Amino acid sequence: MLLLWFTLLIIDKPTKSLCMTLSKFTELYVVPFPTLLGDDADGSLARPYSSLKRALDHVEHNYYRSITSLPRRTTIYLYPTYHFVNTLHLNRAHSRIRITTMNADMTAFYEELIVRDHTYRRLSRASISGGMPITHWIEIDDDVYKAVVPLTVYVNQLFADDRRIIRTRIPIDQSAYLQYEASLNDPNQARYGFQYVQGQFDSIPLNDAMVVVYHSWTTSHHYIDRIITSNRTILFTNPSDLPIGTFTMQGKRRFHIENSCLALVSNSFCFVNETKAIYLKTNGSYNPNDIQIITPIHEFVMLIASTDARNPIN
């Protein structure tokens, strides 16, 4: 469990930093957007860090240069907005930290110093996210918007103001399903596909489509390798744990198709990997440029692990 405490703020002379660290207590401040205070950050109230990672590095640096083996009690105050991070690694040096949201007075102080052309999402409390914000949406049709993401990103989930946006689905009705005609005779090959009903995959772009197959109590998710039209066989790039069709009574040969841009409905999206483009159809009540759109990137936001068995994290 993380334990973070309090540090003392002292205003000395104008030429000195606003924040002086005592031997036992430290306060650090994180504001993840440009302010009029400049870029010469040291984590103090007057010169806050721009990321939580820098604040954690500060704590670690001070621990390893300290003459004692006991980490300082440190409170890291986060501005109440999204803090987008890569996976953060906490170790022995971070044993006595407390990460919390700034109070109203601190928030008001920075509110007056925001660079005015910068936009951010103000929240009731700080949110540490392993996701990536999606910005610069362009409207290409009525309530349909497009945005391009970096080349390293693959988008299979999208959230708008913390509400999940569904990925497009065929059939569009969430309670309806498609049914394949039969499983494949070869039990090894049957893990990679099935025989479909004529017309089920006609006119559907298959490069980024995902087929979700229903088994007994589980589903398996597959990307398409190829379709053999002569015998209506679809083959996947990745196998199911068991041959598809093993539990016909329970699974009822059901499947559906996700991520086809032909199936855009209100509050749904699709992703085209070749162009790295996201297509989002809203319900007309919001513009994605005015709210926070996030795609998850990192499965783990924070890892807590000591680098030495003799010095565990307390």
Lowest mean per-residue pLDDT among 26-35, 97-106, 171-180: 26-35
Please tell me the pTM assigned to this model. Answer: 0.78
- 70: helix, coil or strand? coil
Q: Report H helices in the chain.
A: 52-65, 104-111, 248-251
Q: Are strands 158-160 and 163-167 parallel, antiparallel or unpaired?
A: antiparallel
* Ramachandran category for residue 124: left, alpha or beta (phi over 0 → left; psi -120 to 50 → alpha): alpha
**Average pLDDT score over residue span 106-119:** 79
Written as one letter, the residue type at 130 is G
Q: How many CA atoms lie within 13 A of 112 on its CB side?
A: 6
Question: Residues 288, 137: contact at Cβ < 8 Å?
Answer: yes
CA distance 50 to 63: 21
Structure tokens at 79: 């501005």
Question: What whole-number distance in Å separates Cα of residue 65 and Cα of residue 142?
Answer: 59
Q: How far apart are the first and last CA of the chain?
A: 7
Rounded to 10 degrees, the C-alpha dihedral 280/281/283/287 comes to: 50
202 has pLDDT over 60: yes
The single-letter DSSP state of residue 114 is B
Of 15-24, 63-72, 166-175, least confident by mean pLDDT is: 15-24
Q: Which pLDDT band holds residue 19 (cuts at 50, 70, 90)? A: very low
Give yes or no for residue 69 having a pLDDT over 70: no
Give the three-state DSSP class for 221: strand
3-class secondary structure, 212: strand
Residue 23 has pLDDT above 80, yes or no: no
Domain boundary assignment for the chain:
25-130+299-304, 131-168+264-296, 178-261
Rounded to the nearest angstrom, the gap between the alpha carbon of residue 36 and the centroid of all alpha carbons in its chain is 29
